[in-house]
Chains A and B, each alone.
Chain A
Amino acid sequence: MVSSINFKERCSINFKLNIWVVVWIVLATILISPIIAVFIAAMGDSGGLWFHLYETVLLRYVINTLILMTGVALLALLLGVSSAWIVVRYEFLGRTAFQWMLLLPAAVPAYIIAYVYTDFLDFSGPFQKLLREIFDWQFVNDYWFPEVRSMGGAILLMGSVLYPYVYIMSRAAFLLTPASLFEVGFLCKKNIFWKIALPLARPAIAAGVALTMMETVSDFGTVEYFAIETLTLGIFNVWLGMNSLTTAAQISAFAFLFVISLLVFEFINRSRQRFTDTTQKSITLPPKTINGSRTFICWIICGAPILFGFIIPVLILLSFVFQGYSIVFSQAIIDAAYNSLLLAVSISCLVMLTAFFMTSVSKFQEGFFIPKITAIASSGYAFPGTILAVGVAITGGSLDDSISYITTNFTNISFNGFFSSGIGLVVIACMIRFQAIGYGAITSGLGRLPNNMMHANRVLGHSFGYGLRKVYIPLLKLSFLAGGLLVFVDGMKELPMTLLLRPFNFETLPTFVYQYAKDELLEEAAMPALIIIATGLIPTIVMNSVLNRFLRK
């Protein structure tokens, strides 16, 4: 009789090194080491700067971050859930159009909307000018106008472009709730929104809110422009302003706690969602037809977010172009566009390939911690770009140091550093950050395929690699495309990591817009900003059609 302890020993030696696992380890190290590096660096000595910061600004950073997160989350919740419920529950004129148009603001990066509205609503902006003309005011003191560059402004602006996360999650959840449950509500004379739809959609909504909050924590462009000192901006300021990477790492490590708690929150909600998710075909509640004045109310609720989050900013930018600003593609814009394109394309290819490789190895190779580490290595999206930039810079720097140590001590070759700055670093940082998107796309693609595909390939006499090439890549073409597209768009609008890690004079479209907005010359950057928004529209449309196809099934 064989004892079970014996078996345990045998299970543990199941992990076998082969070329696939070796490459997997290398990739996992690249993906994880910057995050670890932040913590190692944070333990370093910052020459008392940490205590100084701790005594002076850290509390302010934390409070600002918390206020911003809460405010944006509440606004996104209000806008997202109300509009989602209306387009699901009611049939009114323009409903189908609103369904996809409500996603449009997602195409506008938060920093662009911040630049545009500031420009538009500032004292010198056209809106206040108009007011002054109408009411014949002369000076600032003649009237009161809310300051755009404030916490309230940041919350309003970020909320109006980030609510689509909540909208899309809650809309899907409302649609997936079987009609029978609503009918129970009718029979019991309950309010079906408060008593049925909302409680059932809660996990999905919470996941959407968590995503919104993560985006808020990682936002750099808006808070920098508005001078709201959040943790993210703190990292940036300490690094570039006080030139202390160690202190930046210490704040990063602290900000990391925020992210972790959000991640845990999201994870708990997602795992709960699995239970409520009905894979069976369920009948959706037919929408209620309304008309008259109530149509008008629906239009206001659904139209306001679109108006503020998309139409107005785009119109303002377009008006700059029509006024003749930045209409000529200067060499600088062409260069920036070229750099952005190159960066986004290379990132999306790299992300999709690594994600495919890591997930398939984790799925088909033996060894029981591989799937877990793959998931962790793909969690980069949760980390604000500034934290990752700190981590990547530290890792690159120490790599350079060790190489130069070796070369100067053992050889005559002089090594001036290769990994501590450069486009390569930007690419790696983006690759880590956007890994989650590729991982998600590939995992869900693989999930739809039976496991036996790989087994069939092997039993029929072919290797693991052959199976990946001949079976899985052809079958996952669409997942590659969809994931790659999303990464591409995120790469096109990435700002903080490029800003922190780019080599001198390397401009992308976002850094170009950033630079001009900072110099109060937004109109000169209207065209690049519009290009960024236009690329952002691609996944918005894709996302909507995917959701519709999924629901039609």
Chain B
Amino acid sequence: MSGLSLKNISHAFINNQVVKDVSLEVRQGELVCLLGPSGCGKTTLLRIAAGLEKIQIGQVCIEGKIVADLEKGINHPPEKRGVGLMFQDYALFPHLSVKNNIIFGIEYNDQERINWSNQALEKIGLKHHAHEYPHTLSGGQQQRVALLRAIAPRPKILLLDEPFSSLDMTSRLQIRNQTLDILKQTNIATLMVTHDPEEAMYMADQILVMNKGRIIQVGTPDELYYKPNNAIVAEFLGPINKLITFVENGKAITPLGSFIAPNFNEGDKVQVLIRPECINLSDTNESKENKIFKVVTSRMIGGDSLINFNVPGTNGKQSIQARMSDDFQPTIGSYIKTEVNDKDVYIYPI
């Protein structure tokens, strides 16, 4: 069943068009992530769905019912849409206790939801803080209160605006899991906005990558990471090496090897993108062969090591990074041999 659907939404502020013909659908129980750099229009889209931004072009449907369509003269105010929205800054009411914040959106005589919120508070371990004020809570606790407040009135859809961005790195992982748990239990259609690809891949059933007001690719985390449609998606989803070259004999010639470049003409200028973990390194004693490079830096991060080497003939201006998972750690100045699979290489026109 369709929870939220946006059809052909376009939006402009004065003369700056921030959303361009975007359509998307979130089904019940599904978590869809809008991923994109800041200023790409994703928050505006969220606010249009919630009714905080007046719709200009397009249509918003919630559970199959049109709630906003200017052509049809429909524009339900936010309070009539049945949406839950968690704000980036949480927007907890400072003059209300934790409990009163959570039940703010519940009808005062809805005993069932009040009981629910009591249980929920207990479940997330904030029962003892129920009568305290938001400013006494930690960032993570505030985040959970904000989430509970958003879902307490049992909204038809849930919108999350950068829900983890104000948390520090360590609590972020833990709170992500807890949030996923809560969302699974409520089985609600959720649209989440984030600029963090890792977060999007971790949380989402489906990711929509947005750039400059348009959706440029839709897919599961796997599809996006391993089959990006274009260079922007590939670069956005994680660190990647970028080499500019030309096509010769149907192949893109790079220092890391020649890769089959179908759909390109002879002599086309192309960009070749290779993820660091897709470059396989091995020790070698030789120095003058193809695909052999001198190590510039080699660093351990966690269980992996990051090895940088220069592309010969660029005067050290172009460097390539590889990520090896086992304890491969060449000494600086030593020579390494590279190997890259054709299938791990993305080639796009410039």
Q: Which residues from chain B contact A453 at a C-beta distance below 8 Å?
A: 91, 93
Query: Is B15 on the interface with A (CB-CB < 8 A)?
Result: yes
Q: Decide: A7 near B79, CB < 8 A? Known: A450-B89, A452-B87.
A: no
Number of inter-chain CB pairs below 8 Å: 80
Query: Is A456 on the interface with B (CB-CB < 8 A)?
Result: yes
Query: Is B17 on the interface with A (CB-CB < 8 A)?
Result: yes
Q: Which residues from chain B contact A471 at a C-beta distance below 8 Å?
A: 93, 95
Q: Which residues from chain B contact A463 at a C-beta distance below 8 Å?
A: 77, 79
Q: Which residues from chain B contact A10 at a C-beta distance below 8 Å?
A: 56-57, 70
9 nearest A-B pairs in the assembled complex, by CB-CB distance:
A460-B105, A452-B91, A7-B12, A458-B78, A456-B91, A459-B85, A452-B87, A10-B56, A474-B95
Which residue of chain B has the shortest Cβ distance to A460 in the bound complex? B105
Q: Contact at A366–B54, with CB atoms within 8 Å? A: yes
Closest CB-CB distance, B162 to chain A, in whole Å?
A: 12
- With A and B bound together, what is the CA distance between A452 and B14 in angstroms? 22
- With A and B bound together, what is the CA distance between A152 and B272 in angstroms? 84
Q: Decide: A462 near B91, CB < 8 A? Known: A4-B12, A10-B56.
A: no
Interface size on B, residues (CB 8 A): 33
Q: Contact at A475–B12, with CB atoms within 8 Å? A: no
Q: Which residues from chain A contact B84 at a C-beta distance below 8 Å?
A: 459
Q: Decide: A462 near B79, CB < 8 A? Known: A7-B56, A456-B87, A475-B94.
A: yes
Q: Contact at B85–A455, with CB atoms within 8 Å? A: yes
Query: Is A542 on the interface with B (CB-CB < 8 A)?
Result: no
Q: Interface residues, chain A, CB within 8 Å of chain B?
A: 2, 4, 6-8, 10-11, 14, 366, 450, 452-453, 455-463, 471, 474-475
Which residue of chain A has the shortest Cβ distance to B149 in the bound complex? A460
Instruction: Determine chain A's interface SS by DSSP, over half rule.
Output: helix
- With A and B bound together, what is the CA distance between A204 and B45 in angstroms? 42
Q: Contact at B94–A458, with CB atoms within 8 Å? A: no
Q: Interface residues, chain B, CB within 8 Å of chain A?
A: 10, 12, 14-15, 17, 20-21, 50-52, 54, 56-57, 70, 77-79, 82-85, 87, 89, 91-95, 104-105, 149-150, 153
Q: A455-B91, A458-B52, A463-B77 are in contact. List 10 more A-B contacts (CB 8 A).
A: A4-B12, A4-B17, A7-B12, A8-B15, A11-B14, A453-B91, A459-B50, A460-B79, A460-B104, A462-B79
Q: Decide: A461 near B153, CB < 8 A? Known: A2-B57, A452-B89, A456-B91.
A: yes
- With A and B bound together, what is the CA distance between A2 and B89 in angstroms? 33
Closest CB-CB distance, B178 to chain A, in whole Å?
A: 21
Q: Contact at A7–B17, with CB atoms within 8 Å? A: yes
Q: Decide: A2 near B17, CB < 8 A? Known: A453-B93, A459-B50, A475-B94.
A: yes
Q: Contact at A456–B56, with CB atoms within 8 Å? A: no
16 contacts between A and B (CB under 8 A): A4-B12, A4-B15, A7-B10, A7-B15, A7-B56, A453-B93, A456-B85, A456-B91, A458-B52, A459-B50, A459-B51, A459-B52, A459-B150, A460-B79, A461-B82, A463-B79
Q: Which residues from chain B contact A475 at a C-beta distance below 8 Å?
A: 93-95
Q: Which residues from chain A contact B77 at a C-beta distance below 8 Å?
A: 458, 463
- With A and B bound together, what is the CA distance between A7 and B57 in angstroms? 9
Q: Which residues from chain A contact B149 at a C-beta distance below 8 Å?
A: 456, 460
- With A and B bound together, what is the CA distance between A463 and B51 in angstroms? 13
Which residue of chain A has the shortest Cβ distance to B161 in the bound complex? A452
Q: Contact at A459–B17, with CB atoms within 8 Å? A: no
Closest CB-CB distance, A301 to chain B, in whole Å?
A: 43
- With A and B bound together, what is the CA distance between A453 and B91 in angstroms? 6
Closest CB-CB distance, B257 to chain A, in whole Å?
A: 41
Q: Contact at A14–B52, with CB atoms within 8 Å? A: no
Which residue of chain A has the shortest Cβ distance to B14 in the bound complex? A11
The residue among B51, B77, B87, B91 with the most chain A CB atoms within 10 A of its own CB is B91
- With A and B bound together, what is the CA distance between A462 and B150 in angstroms? 13
Which residue of chain A has the shortest Cβ distance to B82 in the bound complex? A461
Q: Decide: A455 near B87, CB < 8 A? Known: A2-B10, A460-B105, A463-B79.
A: yes
- With A and B bound together, what is the CA distance between A7 and B10 in angstroms? 9
- With A and B bound together, what is the CA distance between A366 and B77 in angstroms? 12
